[in-house]
Amino acid sequence: MFSKMVLVYFELTPDYFFAVFKNLFTWMFVDNDLRMLSRFSLQYLTKKLGVDPIVYGYLETTFAILQLVGGPLFGRFGDLFGGRYAFLLAFASAAASYGILGISYNVPMVFLSRLPVIFMHAAQGM
């Protein structure tokens, strides 16, 4: 019985752990910093455009609702196509959201910049 078992030896070297740690740290650093920069630039932009605090609340609520709706969609996409493409979709939608926010010149454009966040779930893709 034991003679037919194949033992697969997988060497976990310190280099392997360093590579995993480096990739995770880089992902967390980039994702969190861009999200923080987006939040600060969003506050600056809405003040510059003269947005009421109530409209700013609507903007943040839109963001939360789109993330809530997008979670199951993103999970299904990750199940169907795998983690690599799920990460690609998450980071592409984040880049689209930040890019549209960067070129926004009126309030509807700011709301439009929140649309791609429906697939911005990099933490769940991990």
Euclidean distance between CA atoms 5 and 82, whole angstroms = 30
* Of 48, 25, 29, 27, the residue nearest 109 (C-alpha): 48
Q: How many residues does the chain have?
A: 126
Q: What is the model's pLDDT at position 112?
A: 93
Residue 8 dihedral angles phi and psi, to the nearest 5°: -100, 120
Q: Is the pTM of this model over 0.85?
A: no
Euclidean distance between CA atoms 13 and 123, whole angstroms = 26
Q: What is the model's pLDDT at position 84?
A: 82
**Do residues 46 and 59 make contact, with C-beta atoms less than 8 angstroms apart?**
yes
Sole residue written with tokens 């890019």: 99
Euclidean distance between CA atoms 76 and 71, whole angstroms = 9
The pLDDT of residue 17 is above 80: no
Q: What is the model's pLDDT at position 80?
A: 93
Euclidean distance between CA atoms 18 and 27, whole angstroms = 14
At 29, the pLDDT band (50, 70, 90 cuts) reads low
